[in-house]
Amino acid sequence: MQDVAHVPHTHDPHIEGHFESSATVRDIVIGLSDGLTVPFALAAGLSGAVSSSHLVVLAGLAEIAAGSIAMGLGGYLAARGDAEHYVSERRREEREIIERTRDEEEEIYEIFEQYSVDRASATPVLNALKRNPPAWVDFMMRFELGLEEPARNRAHRSALTIASSYIAGGLIPLLPYMLVHENFTALKLSVVITLLALAIFGALKGKLVGTGWLRSALQTITIGGVAAAAAYSLARLLNSHPN
């Protein structure tokens, strides 16, 4: 009898490579992208109209303060709106599984039909959900309406994250003006530093969301560069005409 060597079977665990963009990451992206672009364009525009880097810094800091408050408030209101919408839709679903049970059952079958699951196979799942009304509502919220329950204090965290990210991004283009008194030299340094920051930010964002780091980096550089160039050119053009 021939011996067959036993080769142990090794099973490598399957690791999901998908990136689930959290709400916090989205808030950071929103704050940083606007924080890097808007103050950069403002500083470049002012550099084309005034010769004092001190004025650029003052105007830039004022814009960062106003922009961070506006962006943070916008994030707060958006998150509050999402939370209120979720609560309203959940209450409606809780009423419907009681008042319109047959319609809700048909909706369950329709959801499973989208995944090629026939009624006979879906019936045991439906019966299990009917025995657990909160789970039934959770199922309908996710698979019928596509809604996830927002985290508690989401609105406050969103406002703080967006505002702080905006401030962090906005200080980068202003840093050269704080350190260098000669306005044109500060502008050149600001362009180099900010475009580099935009490239790094774009590359990281592209790598996280899976759209490609190079493509994302080029997009952020292009948007920031065009905005700054347009603001600078417009300021130079308007400043060249006598009053």
**Residues belonging to the chain:** 243
Token pair for 98? 């009681």
The region that residue 151 occupies, defined by phi over 0 for left and psi between -120 and 50 for alpha, beta otherwise, is beta
What pLDDT does 33 receive? 87
Residue 9 lies in a domain: no
Q: Are the C-beta atoms of residues 180 and 186 closer than 8 Å to each other?
A: yes
- Count how many Cα atoms sit within 13 Å of the Cα of residue 122 in the half-sphere of its side chain: 15
Say what the pTM is: 0.76
Residue 8 lies in a domain: no
Residue 67 lies in a domain: yes
What pLDDT does 59 receive? 92
Residue 10 lies in a domain: no
pLDDT-based confidence at 234, cuts 50/70/90?
confident
Q: What is the pLDDT of residues 4-32, one digit of tens each?
A: 444 444 455 544 444 445 778 889 888 98
Helices 23-47 and 183-209 pack at an angle, to 10 degrees, of 160
Lowest mean pLDDT among 163-172, 192-201, 220-229: 220-229
Residue 228 lies in a domain: yes
What pLDDT does 15 receive? 47
- Whether residue 37 is predicted with pLDDT greater than 80 in this model: the reply is yes
Q: What is the pLDDT of residues 103-162, one digit of tens each?
A: 888 989 989 998 888 888 889 988 998 899 999 899 899 988 888 888 888 899 999 999
Give the start-end residues of each E strand in the chain: none
Domain count, the chain: 1
Q: Residue 109's domain spans which residues?
A: 23-236
- How far, CA to CA in Å, does 92 sit from each of 133, 141, 172, 240? 13, 10, 47, 62
Compute the average pLDDT of residues 26-40: 88
Distance CA 75, CA 46 (A): 28
Residue 4 lies in a domain: no
CA angle in degrees (0–180, nearest 5) for 29-32-36:
140
Q: Which residues, in sequence order, are CB contacts of 137 under 8 Å at separation 6+?
A: 90, 93, 94, 97
Residue 214 lies in a domain: yes
Residue 138 lies in a domain: yes
